[in-house]
Structure 1
Amino acid sequence: MEKWTFDVKGMHCASCAANVEKAVKKLEGASEVYVNFAANRLALDADPAKLTQQQVIDTVRAAGFEASLPESAGSEPVKINFDVKGMHCASCAANIEKTVGKLDGASDVYVNFAANRLTLRMIPEKLTSRQVIDAVREAGYEASVAEAKQSAANEEEEASEAKRELFRFVTAVVFAALLFYTAMHGMLHLPFFPISDKARALLEIVLLIPVVWAGFRFYTSGFRSLFRGAPNMDSLIACGTAAAAAYSFYLCAQGEFKHLYFDTAGMIVALIMLGKFLEGRSRRRASGAIRELLELAPETAVLVTPQGDRVVPAAEIQPGDRLRVKPGERIPVDGVVEEGETSMDESMLSGESMPVEKAPGSEVTGASVNKNGSIVMKATRVGSDTVLARIVQLVQDAQGSRPPIARLADRISGWFVWAVLGISAVTFLAWLLAGAGFPAALSFALAVMVIACPCALGLATPIALIVGIGQGAKSGILIKSGAALETAGRISTVVFDKTGTLTVGKPAVTEVRVIPGAGFDADRMLAAAASAEAGSEHPLAQAIVTAAREKKLESWKAEQFTARPGFGLSCRLGGAEWLFGNARLMRAVGLEPEVPELKLSGAGSVVYAARNKKLIGVIGIGDRLKPGAADAVARLKSLGIRSAMLTGDNNAVAQAIAAELKLDEFRAELLPGDKAKALREFQAAANGGAVAMVGDGINDAPALAQADVGIAIGSGTAIAMEAADVVLMNSDLAEVPAAIRLSRATMRIIRENLFWAFFYNAIGIPLAAGVFYALFDGPILNPVFGALAMAASSVSVVLNALRLRGFRP
């Protein structure tokens, strides 16, 4: 679904708006229709596969009003995803890309063969989803607008198709084995019933028929694509096996019943189906992250009504509904706790297994698990607005994106099959002219067609991308695109924001010092300060009270309390006169606060304490480091990555934090606009490496956007998360080096896959063509073994990518 808005003219009252709403609601593909009479604006959710913007405009005109797209809205491209069926190799994906890329209004077209996903940007004024679907159908495939969650009917259809594929695969293998035994029993000296050569040839034909039936889609897809001028891998299989079978039929017609190729054709089909079967199973394992995320959402919920509780489908929940969630159940949608207390397992979002305590007023996230208490919650975000739905959409978009490293392989896949057909034809003619004879020339040409594997090239990048991004999502690391993942793999410098990122972002007592011989220890002075500040709502006062409470210090009763705005306060505690405040307050009563014994190391604020006009000590208040901050910086160093910090705080505080964390560099006293400028300076000094920015606040958004890779922590604002390339759902900074390790591991797998795919084809095709035999008297490749090698090549690429499933943060 897409959000569409229109400007409407001619409305004079609320009834006019109601008439427009009523007319548009009747359109198929229109929902959530709303007309704002005051703003003269029509808004709706539209299914582009069923509805065009022009249809909406015409409907409004028929109702007696005028509608138009907001100025420049029609020229703004929107991103849309389609599920594609019928692709069998990377050449299929390249053909669809080429077809859709020719459509007026389409740009950034990318077909991910591994994910069966078409992604493009299109201008709604020039192009509709229906036109894209029709173009894909004309290319010989089926497409539909991608939905985040599959319906039960679709899941049943996929399960039924998988069973049919398994039956066809078993049929092909069984009859191909019998065919091979029939043809080769004499050469292998295996037992067989007495039979003439002619009868044996007839039996081979009979056994070949079920194999051809099982692999019939190779012929329908292959020849159809070939006749359209866009051959794919199926075209190679169809041409090769059809040529082998046709030559065998020709020999039979000539009365020659020996040295037939029926068994070769059958074994090739069976082995290719074996490879496709194993590849399909592995690919389903690779794309399991999305399914696992979708399965987290419960199908039903308990709705609390005045008439009592009742079970309803989760899809029917509306914002504002009150829901009851019992221990052990999953939260159906995002919301807020209204009654009860419990703890939640939110590991599905953050990867953090520790339960999170929830009480009335606490936010809860859909799909998290209620551990030990019954609660009543109010739904706030439902459907596609929930955190889980947004994560699923983000992961799907990322898995369907194209990283820069894939461009070369994708370009090669576009003309790969034509090149193989050409090489096969040249091979046949060359050996025929060399006097090798028709059977030998055919064998070499057939071997070339069946060993060449565009699938290995086409799968090399997207399958690793799917597994890597999916594994990251399961660990709470959301990588928004393939380009971001590739860039993250070459990060050489990580720049942290301070407040809220490296630090907790909340004032806390960091240090307490007393003057030796003052007659008070640190805890007693802190207890006195907390007693005096107990009634204050000032953040510094609350920090002191919290520190005393955590230490379980004795509380005193404060008397004659007097607040001194801008300075501090005075009161009587235990019969003594106390002053708590800044240096100006101390100087106002004739005390000099700047004494060596009270020098603090990097505190953001200080509160001095004086008793009976005598300076006692000082309390340092600052922002505490987050647990794990130092460990995260140390892990970055172990990866060879420099770390730096940007902050608007004063230089002394920044220096103290940088020293404690052992940062390589820091910049202090920066304005929000200065952070993006500092990022540009880091980028200029990176010597080709990438610079990442880690932040969480609104003022970090420009720097996150400026960085080569923007990383937002999950506790941050929506704006920061929108501007970032990587989102860490858990606030644990250890996920920063984990995200980089995941990116590096994924890129390493992609490079290995591409190397294998190029190397395999670079060696396999000349070997099959007999080049090594002609030049060095090397081995000759039987077409059957060529088919086996082809099947193994694509499967090995997928299995190599599946190694990423073992990644742990």
Structure 2
Amino acid sequence: MHAHSDSSHSHHNHDSHHNHHDHSKHHDHTEHHRMMIRDFRQRFWVSLLLTLPVLLLSPMVQGLLGFQFQFPFSDWVLFALGAAVYFYGGWPFLTGLKNELQNKAPGMMTLIGVAITVAFAYSAATVLGMEGKTFFWELVTLIDIMLLGHWIEMRSVINASKSLQTLVAMLPTKARKLGQDSTTEDVPIDELKPGDQVRVQPGEKIPVDGEVVEGKSSVNEAMVTGESKPTTKETGQKVIGGTLNGNGSLTVAVQQVGEQAYLNKVIQMVHQAQEKKSKAQNLADRIAFWLTIIALTTGFATLVAWVSLGQTLVFALERMASVMVITCPHALGLAVPLVVANSISMSARNGLLIRNRTAFEDTRRITTIAFDKTGTLTRGTFGVTQCQSVTDEWSDDELLKLAAAAEARSEHPIAVALVEEAHHQEMTLPEAKDFSSSPGEGVKAQIEGKKVQVVGPGYLQAHRIRWPQPDQQNTSENKHATETRVFVLIDDRPAGRIAMDDEIREDAFAAVKALKAMGIRVCMMTGDNEEVARKVSETLQLDAYYAGLLPDQKLEKIHEFQQQGEFVAMTGDGINDAPALAAADVGIAVGSGTDVAAETADIILIDSNPLSVVGLIGFGQSTHQKMIQNFVWATGYNVVAIPLAAGVLYQQGILISPALGAILMSLSTVIVAINAQLLTFPKEKQSQAN
């Protein structure tokens, strides 16, 4: 669609052109999907309206309802209405029939196409003077039900992914390029070349991959590395495009732009992993394929058999049409979509968004589940776990109050945690004057005439400050021993320590236990350091953990598991998890995370509760059971009905007319639909775990 117009302005440099192109391709796909849904909906309602007069004019229906309604040329009116529904309502199936035959893959569309064509041709022939009964009403209701089934099915498949757009949106488009006389000008990223220098102000996204040549700042790389603490960047250190600059300004020498940039490579990885995934075909199509083959062969064999047995052509055609109509994999066509539509809406009410049906149906096959740590098993935010004064001058509360007041103007996660804790305890913070903060050093401020400093362990070492060991040394190993400590100095004398922690979620314990009870291996992958990872892993009693991983290493780990024959689910919330989420057999994004994670995952958990993963797997199992029940019913019914429709028991006086065939078919569809409604969300899993 847009591809053509793209090439007309290809004097853009290649990179921007490439991104733009991908973008529009994606956009087209989603738009195309929406148009098809609208198309089916419209065809369904129009066909349904035309069906009412067809039913009134049909002798069979009149016979059932016990009234007569005939007028000159009523046959021709019936024919006209039937033809309208056949061509307008049946159009998607007729084109589908053509495509399937061209691709040598006859399936549902072929069967529907052939059945409606046989029904139409036969009915048309009777109107034109051939001996026999018309079955226009079966034809039109057949088309109505098929349109409805396809419309429901397409609506239940969530629209194609917007992940690449989301990722592209994270890349800044402009950069502040440094000129000769240290003036800056805003230029599009595409125009930068390796070696150029760009200036990044506090709070801005870093536009390119490069190396810091001047300045010092803390950079939040959580979206790329998953590391919960911002990392300090100074001269000589590498930065990644798309990450968020903190409180200092940096000058960066450009190294990679466009296709070569790290985030762009992540985009490519996601794209490839998704391409692979979309080829997963549904079992229903395979069964429908075989049913089609069986129906077509049986149908034509029936025709030939009866004619050669000396029956009239009308009788033989009727048998053939009955076989086609009855085998029409209606119930089968709805067996899956109805369960899916029901399970998708039910999931949404329970906080699960399903984006890839195949993956959702496959949750029952999971043998290994890998959790990202930050934001998934842990909260991803620092919380104050302990505040301990080391002198008698200050109480623990006063210590927290002064520390929070000093940090009140800093944006650092540690500062945020201190201030939040103070607010939580409803403290009024005194005014801080002469506030200054420097990465790695900490903050200092004048509060109520005292000089208050909040510093890290590095500062104590650098200034050779001896820290008094408090007598009541807290020896009990902290349950969540992933903590960060800061130290408070008042007038340059040690006053106390405050411990903060990226806390393990309460629900993580129950979730790990429940997953292990299902026989699933639970491991953790994190960009965080070895020590933190080990402690979280021991606390939660995980089967394994892998620390210090970059996104591509997470991806490799997933592949490694898959090569060992594991069926892998990945749960995460950051851009750093996106490639792994896309490559895993089932990718589960946890809600509070970035859009990108959500867009590359198969399933999104709106809350970040690890327990939801347990509910999800349980629900995947019950959804699958419902589908199997529907399959068995839909195919089992065919096994019995096809021979009867073909006239196997004709001597015994048992014969299924096309009309009865259509009724039976509709009935089987109704049974399948009712069964789909009986699906329930596993509540007991949640309550057991709590």
- Tell me if TM exceeds 0.5: yes
Structure 2 Cα separation of the partners of residues 725 and 486 of structure 1: 11
* Corresponding residue for residue 70 of structure 1: none
Q: In the alignment, which of 103, 108, 114 is matched to residue 232 of structure 1? A: 114
* Corresponding residue for residue 290 of structure 2: 412
Structure 2 Cα separation of the partners of residues 442 and 569 of structure 1: 90
Give SS of 2:426's match.
Answer: coil
Q: How does 1:731-750 map to 2 (within 5 A)?
A: 731=608, 736-737=613-614, 739-740=616-617, 743-750=620-627
Change (3 A) 1:639 1:779: farther
Asked if 2 retains the 8 angstrom alpha-carbon contact of 1:504 and 1:625, the reply is yes
Structure 1 Cα separation of the partners of residues 398 and 299 of structure 2: 89
* Corresponding residue for residue 178 of structure 2: none
Q: In the alignment, which of 393, 401, 425 is matched to residue 527 of structure 1? A: 401
Please say if 1:543 is aligned against 2:417. Answer: yes
CA deviations 1:527-553 (Å, max 9, x no partner) are 343345456665434432332232123
* Corresponding residue for residue 752 of structure 1: 629
Give SS of 1:232's match.
Answer: helix
Give how far 1:286 is off: 5.7
Q: How does 1:610-629 map to 2 (within 5 A)?
A: 617-625=496-504
Q: How does 1:177-192 map to 2 (within 5 A)?
A: 181=63
Q: How does 1:362-381 map to 2 (within 5 A)?
A: none
* Corresponding residue for residue 667 of structure 1: 546
CA deviations 1:744-794 (Å, max 9, x no partner) are 4554444334333322222211122343577xx695434432231123334
Give how far 1:554 is off: 5.4
Structure 2 Cα separation of the partners of residues 423 and 411 of structure 1: 18
* Corresponding residue for residue 525 of structure 2: 646
Give how far 1:586 is off: 6.2
Give SS of 2:369's match.
Answer: strand
Q: In the alignment, which of 360, 365, 388 is matched to residue 485 of structure 1? A: 360
Q: List runs of 5+ in structure 1 lacking aligned partners.
A: 8-23, 25-32, 47-72, 83-118, 120-144, 193-199, 251-260, 294-396
Structure 2 Cα separation of the partners of residues 164 and 503 of structure 1: 54
Percentage of matched positions with identical amino acids: 28
**RMSD (Å), alpha carbons:** 5.6
Structure 1 Cα separation of the partners of residues 86 and 411 of structure 2: 78
Structure 2 Cα separation of the partners of residues 242 and 233 of structure 1: 14
AA aligned opposite 2:55? V
* Corresponding residue for residue 136 of structure 2: 269
Q: In the alignment, which of 562, 573, 577 is matched to residue 700 of structure 1? A: 577
Asked if 2 retains the 8 angstrom alpha-carbon contact of 1:459 and 1:797, the reply is yes
Structure 2 Cα separation of the partners of residues 648 and 595 of structure 1: 36
* Corresponding residue for residue 231 of structure 2: none
Q: How does 1:171-320 map to 2 (within 5 A)?
A: 171-176=53-58, 181=63, 210-216=77-83, 232-238=114-120, 262=133, 265=134, 268-277=135-144, 280-281=147-148, 284=151
Asked if 1 retains the 8 angstrom alpha-carbon contact of 2:382 and 2:501, the reply is yes
Asked if 2 retains the 8 angstrom alpha-carbon contact of 1:512 and 1:617, the reply is yes
Change (3 A) 1:401 1:277: farther
AA aligned opposite 1:176? S
* Corresponding residue for residue 474 of structure 2: 598
* Corresponding residue for residue 2 of structure 2: 2
Give SS of 1:649's match.
Answer: coil
Change (3 A) 1:609 1:758: same
Query: Higher relative CO (CA 8 A, sep ≥ 6), structure 1 or 2?
Result: 2
Please say if 1:422 is aligned against 2:300. Answer: yes
CA deviations 1:599-653 (Å, max 9, x no partner) are 4521421124578999765321122346865566566567664433222334553
Give how far 1:512 is off: 2.8
Q: How does 1:468-507 map to 2 (within 5 A)?
A: 468=343, 477-507=352-382
Structure 1 Cα separation of the partners of residues 17 and 456 of structure 2: 58
Change (3 A) 1:594 1:616: same
Structure 2 Cα separation of the partners of residues 609 and 562 of structure 1: 15
AA aligned opposite 1:704? L
Moved more, 421-430 or 728-737: 728-737
Change (3 A) 1:660 1:514: farther
Report the count of equivalent residues: 550
Structure 1 Cα separation of the partners of residues 678 and 154 of structure 2: 13
Give SS of 1:694's match.
Answer: strand
Please say if 1:512 is aligned against 2:390. Answer: no
Give how far 1:43 is off: 9.4
Give how far 1:555 is off: 4.3
Change (3 A) 1:204 1:779: farther
Give SS of 2:473's match.
Answer: helix
* Corresponding residue for residue 146 of structure 1: 32
Asked if 1 retains the 8 angstrom alpha-carbon contact of 2:363 and 2:617, the reply is yes
Q: List runs of 5+ in structure 2 lacking aligned partners.
A: 102-109, 161-274
Asked if 2 retains the 8 angstrom alpha-carbon contact of 1:401 and 1:481, the reply is no
Structure 2 Cα separation of the partners of residues 479 and 801 of structure 1: 17
Structure 1 Cα separation of the partners of residues 16 and 657 of structure 2: 69
Give SS of 2:578's match.
Answer: helix
Structure 1 Cα separation of the partners of residues 585 and 528 of structure 2: 25
Give SS of 1:624's match.
Answer: strand
AA aligned opposite 1:501? T
Please say if 1:792 is aligned against 2:667. Answer: yes
Change (3 A) 1:653 1:767: same
Structure 2 Cα separation of the partners of residues 403 and 778 of structure 1: 42
Structure 1 Cα separation of the partners of residues 277 and 486 of structure 2: 53
Structure 1 Cα separation of the partners of residues 378 and 629 of structure 2: 39
Give how far 1:724 is off: 3.4
Please say if 1:553 is aligned against 2:431. Answer: no
Give how far 1:240 is off: 5.7
Give how far 1:500 is off: 3.2
* Corresponding residue for residue 306 of structure 1: none
* Corresponding residue for residue 557 of structure 2: 678
Change (3 A) 1:219 1:611: closer
Q: In the alignment, which of 17, 42, 52 is matched to residue 170 of structure 1? A: 52
Change (3 A) 1:786 1:620: same
Give SS of 2:367's match.
Answer: strand
Asked if 1 retains the 8 angstrom alpha-carbon contact of 2:457 and 2:487, the reply is yes
Asked if 2 retains the 8 angstrom alpha-carbon contact of 1:2 and 1:45, the reply is no
AA aligned opposite 1:553? M
Asked if 1 retains the 8 angstrom alpha-carbon contact of 2:569 and 2:585, the reply is yes
Give how far 1:242 is off: 6.5
* Corresponding residue for residue 448 of structure 1: 323
Asked if 2 retains the 8 angstrom alpha-carbon contact of 1:403 and 1:482, the reply is no
Structure 2 Cα separation of the partners of residues 716 and 696 of structure 1: 4
Change (3 A) 1:607 1:593: farther
Give SS of 1:215's match.
Answer: helix
Structure 1 Cα separation of the partners of residues 574 and 343 of structure 2: 28
Structure 1 Cα separation of the partners of residues 60 and 448 of structure 2: 101
